[in-house]
Amino acid sequence: MPARAPSALTIHELHPLLISGQLSPAELLEDLLARIAGHNGAYGAYIDVAADQLREQLRRQLASGRRGRLFGIPITVKDNLCVAGEQTTCASKILAGFRAPYDATVIERLRQEGAVIVPRANMDEFAFGSSTENSAYGATRNPWDRQRVPGGSSGGSAAAVAADLAIGALGSDTGGSIRQPASFCNVVGLKPTYGRVSRYGLIAFASSLDQIGPLTKDVRDAAHLLSVIAGHDPMDSTSAPVEVPDYVAQLEAPVNGLRVGLPRLPEEGIEPDVRRCVEAAVQVLQRLGAAVERIELPFIDHSIETYYIVATAEASSNLARYAGVHYGLREPAEDRSSLIEMYLRTRTAGFGAEAKRRILLGTYVLSHGYYDAYYLKAMQVRTLIKRSFEQAFSRCDIVVMPTSPTAAFRLGERLTDPLQMYLSDIYTISANLAGVPAISIPCGFSSSQLPVGLQLLAAPFREELLLRLAYAYEQATEWHRRRPALEQA
């Protein structure tokens, strides 16, 4: 047995121990539950954890005889992924009490490999945010500094992995919601190509942008989880019928000669420490044999405004279904015959401030007289951004840039300034608009000892290239091995 506690180990370290019987799944689960009980109160990574239900779930998994790639390993999932019989609320009051009637496809695939599903990692309400402060169940705090945000919207998943309150986790990424919290929390976060992973059972934010992906302690674990959840799904019409390679087997393939492109990027608000860490990381890539060259990504400067038109428009359409009729919160009208009043009271009470802001923005850009001026124009610019990536990947294999312009900011610092909050995603949004895969890996620390992330992007369905270069960089550095000192609940 390793000297470290089971909850501190990675998926690839735990698997042989569990298969061989050196460690039992029950021992692993109890160690993880004890750590969650000791620290979740201080960090709010989980909305809640039903320990007895997890023990019963493990008993059923063991009785099923499944001894797959995740045998006995707890995997944490964000509160917008449907887990049959469990509350799935998107951290919103409007879905209070809703229990998913079915498993999302990614949950089914985790179960088939023997995983134990740990639901309800905290998040920004409906994934609307970059800080996990917009949750109806309270903010999540960064394990590296409790006075700072963990990023968002998958902040609960990222914080849980960073604090060893999770072995590995799933999040969703609409404009950086996996990668930015991965950067803030010093973990690995991968957004796959749009269509690589089924979205069936993911409660939608923006259907043309959303993608499910892993948050893990290292790159090998990200490859393990992606291998499990990737692949075509007939239940999702946007799921791509593209063969899934063996990501783990390709991790150690040589990176010598890979062409790495450094684009000219908007530098508004980038911290000197972030620039320093990213420049040092590029030098490491060069020492590993990558050929680095400057490239142009025209139109990427317009990603923020394009995204916040497209994403809010889709959010407005998707959230129209929450009306207090079939499920979730219902606030009855004073006049029991007034359906409109019931809608109004339910939505007023059920949606938080950021959700209301995005619904209003989206409704506005889709409204008569503004559709052509805003939404249609944004979709045209989105096409130009996608084409600029196609041109870039004709010259290089990987594009490198910061994950975020800053390290983690303080709680409350940007809540009253939505524009500054939205600028947190300035380097991540373009990957979602173009539908390309991207990964954030630890690449250093600021002068305040806060993590900094390096972002790698590749052409569609070339996740194996991302993972290969990320793994080579990880093996040449020690940043991913650092762990925060936690406070007790």
Catalytic residues: 78, 153, 177
CB 274, CB 241: distance < 8 Å? no
Which residues contact residue 231 at a Cβ distance below 8 angstroms, ignoring those fewer than 6 apart? 109, 197, 198, 244
Measured CA to CA, the distance from residue 473 to residue 103 in angstroms comes to 36
CB 131, CB 124: distance < 8 Å? yes
CA-closest candidate to residue 170, choices 101, 124, 120, 113: 120
Helix (H) or strand (E) holding 29: helix 25-43
| Start-to-end CA span in the chain (Å) | 28
Question: In which residue are the tokens 């990176």 written?
Answer: 255
Distances (CA, A) of 37 to 40, 46, 241, 435: 6, 11, 42, 38
Amino acid at 366: L
Measured CA to CA, the distance from residue 21 to residue 380 in angstroms comes to 56
Measured CA to CA, the distance from residue 127 to residue 43 in angstroms comes to 19
Measured CA to CA, the distance from residue 434 to residue 126 in angstroms comes to 22
Bridge partners (DSSP) listed for residue 74: 116
Q: In what order do the strands lie in the sheet with 438-445?
A: 116-121, 74-78, 169-173, 211-216, 188-191, 438-445, 451-458, 398-402, 259-263, 291-295
Q: Tokens standing for 96?
A: 């209070």
Q: How far is CA 183 from the centre of its chain?
A: 11
Contacts 24+ apart (CB under 8 A), 253-258: 253/468, 254/289, 255/285, 255/288, 255/289, 255/290, 255/468, 255/469, 255/472, 256/288, 256/289, 256/290, 257/289, 257/290, 257/291, 258/289, 258/290, 258/291, 258/397, 258/398, 258/465, 258/468, 258/469
Residue 33, phi then psi, degrees to nearest 5 = -65, -35
